[in-house]
Structure 1
């Protein structure tokens, strides 16, 4: 007679009890994994927030740097022209540059579609195939 190595006390558990125990352990494992993911995402969000704040600070400093360059351009032109004329020329150049950038932005915006066209087409095709199969 071959022995299986299972004692009667180990073999006495019913299938229902084993399924219940499996379900409890799986549920516990999933909850633990969700807590771990939440803690990890919280840490990453803190780092992302700090990074975004630093990027904002860099943008502000760059803005002031551009202002200093504009002032420099006005001061350089004022060596040959009146200060008001130099400021007017620099302001006109800035408005012209702003208009070019706005037109480029408008062109990019027009290319953006409010709906995901390829996805809509794929879904329509999938629905059509499902209808064909059920006929």
Structure 2
């Protein structure tokens, strides 16, 4: 045979690998595992930030509605309804309407924020699984 192709290396008896091969395999698997965990963490953080942003937007809407509540209490009562039903009743109606709007927006925002899972929840679970595997890699 010519030197163009190399003969396959004979495996040690019993299918045992050398310490160098085992170390190389562990290093490669650990490197792959770390890259996968980092990718999972990035994906999870992006999703959590998106959900938190939506909840914050709803809470901001509640703040705007609350601000409009104060403005409406003064301006709308006097201008729009004061001459029709009396100033006291007009003030009460406008106050109740904006109070309901603010409460609905605040509750919706609060619900959205509560749906955001704890930081890196899935990554934490997989890291625990990886640690268990590292302790008992053959099981």
Indicate the TM-score class for this superposition, using the shorter chain for normalisation.
0.3 to 0.5
Considering Cα pairs closer than 8 Å and 6+ residues apart, tell me whether 1 or 2 has the greater RCO.
2
Larger Rg: 1
TM-score by length of 1: 0.43
TM-score by length of 2: 0.42
